[in-house]
């Protein structure tokens, strides 16, 4: 069997691809994703102008994940638009990712990508690591203003990359906006922001930016990511697809997101630490699990979480 799936009507050859962030800044890095078993190419979250990002050290591997405060290092949206024709040669969907530093930035970038050959656009409302910039998705008035400006700029599917919501009321408010503005897919979750990891021997944080505060990723945040996927699965119509991200390093992790309701998963920390071989490994393991459990397809297992 295969793990073929689709996001917003876009066919994917497998259930697994990369999350925006790790190993996707340059064309050379994006080509390696194209050459890998990732079912799509998710580009780096880009801004209007190029950014170097935050000061080093800004990433640290941890026993069960990572902490980082990269600060959106990227080449600027115009450079990523130039890369799309090259990336399309890999015969897999290409997703843009945009992260405005102000409300006015989002429509400029979304309009430009709508006029490109990209397949879909993920709008990042949840980067926790920009100094002095709050996460837009925690402000529902600001989120509504952004979505109003970008929702009618073209026909390519729009998705939202959301932060961790730890309150049902937050998820309900965002679900209303998602339905109101015609969002086609939702990615849950971005790294868990403003976490602190301390090196007890050195008596200091393990990363430098923001006095050591950064986004936590990997297995540490999987329960939070699963909960967000499940709640949005229950709150949204089934034609709005969910992409799970957060702590996926094995086929078992991917299967749990499938049970929660995710139509696909993105891999971040595991990709950063293990490289592109992780995509094939996770998908192969998922195939074995589905086969052993006698599920004939991804859709036959999606959302089939059994409650106690």
- CA 131 to each of CA 24, 82, 106, 141: distance values in angstroms, whole numbers, following the listed order: 22, 28, 18, 21
Task: Indicate whether 87 belongs to any domain.
Answer: yes
Q: What is the pLDDT of residue 131?
A: 83
Phi first, then psi, for residue 207 (nearest 5°) are -125, 160
Summarize pLDDT for 36-73 with one digit per residue, the tens: 999 999 999 999 999 999 999 999 999 999 999 999 99
Q: Which of 46, 127, 188, 195 is an active site residue? A: 127
pLDDT average, residue stretch 109-129: 96
pLDDT higher than 90, residue 119: yes
Q: What is the pLDDT of residue 293?
A: 97
Task: Indicate whether 307 belongs to any domain.
Answer: no
What percent of the residues of the chain are helix, what percent strand, and what percent coil, each to the nearest 5? 40, 20, 40
Task: Indicate whether 126 belongs to any domain.
Answer: yes
Task: Indicate whether 308 belongs to any domain.
Answer: no
pTM over 0.85: yes
Does the active-site annotation cover 195?
Answer: no
Q: What is the DSSP string of 134-153?
A: --GGG-HHHHHHHHHHHTTS
CA 65 to CA 195: how far, in whole Å? 13
What are the residue ranges of helices labelled H in 209-276?
Answer: 222-235, 251-260, 269-274
Task: Indicate whether 269 belongs to any domain.
Answer: yes
Q: What is the CATH number of the domain that holds 217?
A: 3.20.20.70
Q: Name the domain count of the chain.
A: 1
Range of the domain at 282: 5-301
Which stretch of DSSP H or E encloses residue 172?
Answer: helix 168-180
| pLDDT classification of 253: cutoffs 50, 70, 90 | very high
Task: Indicate whether 57 belongs to any domain.
Answer: yes
Q: What is the pLDDT of residue 289?
A: 98
Q: What is the pLDDT of residue 132?
A: 82
Question: CB 117: neighbour CB atoms within 10 A?
Answer: 12
* 25, two tokens: 């800044």
Task: Indicate whether 306 belongs to any domain.
Answer: no
Task: Indicate whether 31 belongs to any domain.
Answer: yes
């Amino acid at each position: 069997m295969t793990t073929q799936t689709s996001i917003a009507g876009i066919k994917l050859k497998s259930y697994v691809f990369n999350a925006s962030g790790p190993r996707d800044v340059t064309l050379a890095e994006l080509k390696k994703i194209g050459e890998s078993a990732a079912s799509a190419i998710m580009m780096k979250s880009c801004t209007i102008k190029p950014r170097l990002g935050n000061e080093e050290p800004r990433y640290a591997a941890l026993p069960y994940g990572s902490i980082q405060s990269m600060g959106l290092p990227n080449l600027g949206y115009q450079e990523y638009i130039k890369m799309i024709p090259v990336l399309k040669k890999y015969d897999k969907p290409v997703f843009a990712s945009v992260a405005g530093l102000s409300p006015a930035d989002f429509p400029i970038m979304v309009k430009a990508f709508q006029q490109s050959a990209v397949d879909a656009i993920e709008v990042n409302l949840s980067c926790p690591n920009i100094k002095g910039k709050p996460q837009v998705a925690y402000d529902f008035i600001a989120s509504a203003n952004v979505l109003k400006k970008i929702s009618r700029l073209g026909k390519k599917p729009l998705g939202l990359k959301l932060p961790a919501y730890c309150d049902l009321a937050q998820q309900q408010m965002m679900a209303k906006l998602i339905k109101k503005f015609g969002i086609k897919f939702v990615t849950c979750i971005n790294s868990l922001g403003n976490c602190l990891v301390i090196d007890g021997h050195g008596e200091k944080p393990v990363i430098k930016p923001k006095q050591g505060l950064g986004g936590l990723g990997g297995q540490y945040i999987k329960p939070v990511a699963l909960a967000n996927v499940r709640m949005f699965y229950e709150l949204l119509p089934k034609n709005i697809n969910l992409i799970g991200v957060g702590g996926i390093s094995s086929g078992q992790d991917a299967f749990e997101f499938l049970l929660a309701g995710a139509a696909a998963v993105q891999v971040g920390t595991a990709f950063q630490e293990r490289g592109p071989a992780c995509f094939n490994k996770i998908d192969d393991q998922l195939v074995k699990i589905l086969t052993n459990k006698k599920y004939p397809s991804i859709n036959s297992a999606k959302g089939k979480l059994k409650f106690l």
